[in-house]
Chains A and B, each alone.
Chain A
Amino acid sequence: MDKPSPYFSNLKCRECGRLYPKQAIHVCDFDFGPLEAAYDYEAIRPVLTRKAIESRPHSMWRYRELLPIDGDPTVGQQVGFTPLVKADRLAKALGIRELYVKNDTVNYPTLSFKDRVVSVALSRACELGFRTVACASTGNLANSVAANAASAGLKSYVLIPADLEQGKVLGSLVYGTNVVAIHGAYDQVNRLCSEIAGKYGWGFVNVNLRPYYAEGSKTMGFEICEQLGWKIPRHTVVPMASGSLLTKLHKAYGEFARLGLVEDTGFSVHGAQATGCAPISHAMKRGTDLVKPVAKPDTIAKSLAIGTPADGYYAIHAMKQTGGSAEDVTDEEVVEGIRLLAECEGIFAETAGGVTTACAKKLIESGKIPRDQSAVLCITGHGLKTQEAIIGKCGEPRLINPSLREFEEQIYSKDAAADAVAA
């Protein structure tokens, strides 16, 4: 048993503030409000300085005082510290002065930001003595739980909707996990998980381990600030499924400001969804925080297809409080977004990245993100996992024989002629 962390003190209900011990529990007994990790910021302030952080290894664990585990991380020590790319060509294409891409398509080990949340959840699961871990997932979380559980020697079960992309299914199976595909949409998977979570003594990363899981997302925000030279970006565009990542990015910026690691010079957090499943964006546009569930999500952005978003309410408040907005885009726009990001920056994102890029385009066009300001796009998963979404939509290879004559006639001279017309 590890000595309790001197920085991470309790779990606390976000609604009523009641305190709970740091166990595998996730909702308040009194009002069902989500439990959240609470910290002793006065104890953290003298320890977590810029200098201390900069001296540590390049992983998400360089901010460990602000993460909810007691001892040293035992799962996912290498996760995080992905590149923050200055995206000048995309900035020009979108017509904004300054733009960055936080590139979690290359997060270790499963190429999505979910490795951040899983690293925290499974490190805590080990501290709490779980030998079997599980999750409900739209794909990426399943991949990450499967991989990280394998490397930690934990048994795992991942529950997914039956209609996920091949790459996401295979990207779980390969690790030898138990993949259970469920007839139905993600919300039905979720509901089943919520009913079985307490039953078998498993650590369910997004059910009974949720308070630990959710905190992992903060590290994306911490890294963005540090990589910008200890600044909070003026605008951040974040994809939303349950709304947890957006809520935690907002918390991360607030914590860094509170600890004096950055100055709060004003920032806005914007949320992005696909129109075929946009319960949070639609509520935000209606000007309410009552999120109407979507019964039958219908979008190629399956990773974001959560019809009943648990943190929708908090995401709306984070956007409102920071002067941010929500936007949503059609499947065609998602594909255009994927291609634009790839062609401008050489980054191949999954559908959620297409959603973020396309929503950013709309937010800039509508003036919600002013053209003379600076923005960061959170690109959260790799495109190789969602190939179905763009197959046949990026052209085809041109087929020739291994002949110099054919190359000259069919490729080089045609392209030279086209270039001459374009010039």
Chain B
Amino acid sequence: MASIRIPTPLRKLTNELEVVQASGANVGEILTNLEKAFPGLKERICDEQGNVRRFVNVFINDEDIRFLDEQATAVKDTDEISIVPAIAGG
């Protein structure tokens, strides 16, 4: 199962866990399985149409999924997924 790093604003939904595990062949499946384990999580990350919200970045290892195949991006068991809110500049 891939590991998913949960950002601070979502840890209320994961019992304060920083890293959780979920299975799935791609990002979309993982998000769906995460929702089963932690109800409410997916609607925070995705909008009503199911797209990743504008202010959320999802990374696989170090790549933004917007540079890959978005939610269709394949995920291996050894991958680490990070969910990161967009932050202001510097």
Contacts and interface: CB of A to CB of B under 8 A. Distances in A.
B87 A135 contact: no
Contacts of B57: 191, 308
A27 B90 contact: no
Nearest to A211: B88
Interface in A187-201: 188, 190-191, 193-195, 197-198
Contacts of B8: 197-198
Contacts, number: 95
A310 B9 contact: no
A34 B55 contact: yes
Contact of A195 (B45, B47, B82, B86): B82
B37 interface: no
B85 interface: yes
B88 A292 contact: no
A293 B59 CA distance: 13
B90 A142 contact: yes
A30 B44 contact: yes
Contacts of A25: 9
Contacts of A34: 55, 86, 88
A332 B66 CA distance: 30
A310 B5 contact: no
A195 B5 contact: yes
A139 B59 CA distance: 25
A232 to B, nearest CB: 24
Given A30-B44, A292-B66, A293-B66, A306 B89 contact: yes
Given A31-B44, A33-B55, A210 B12 contact: no
B67 A194 contact: no
A142 B90 CA distance: 8
Nearest to A114: B90
A235 B83 CA distance: 38
A353 interface: no
Contacts of A137: 90
- From B9, B56, B66, B89, residue with most partner A Cβ within 10 Å: B89
23 contacts: A26-B87, A30-B44, A31-B55, A32-B44, A32-B56, A34-B88, A135-B90, A137-B90, A139-B90, A141-B89, A142-B90, A190-B90, A191-B84, A194-B87, A195-B82, A207-B87, A242-B89, A243-B89, A244-B88, A293-B67, A308-B57, A308-B64, A313-B54
Given A193-B87, A242-B88, 7 more contacts: A29-B12, A34-B55, A190-B90, A308-B57, A309-B89, A310-B86, A311-B88
Interface of B: 5, 7-9, 12, 44-45, 47, 53-57, 59, 62, 64, 66-67, 82, 84-90
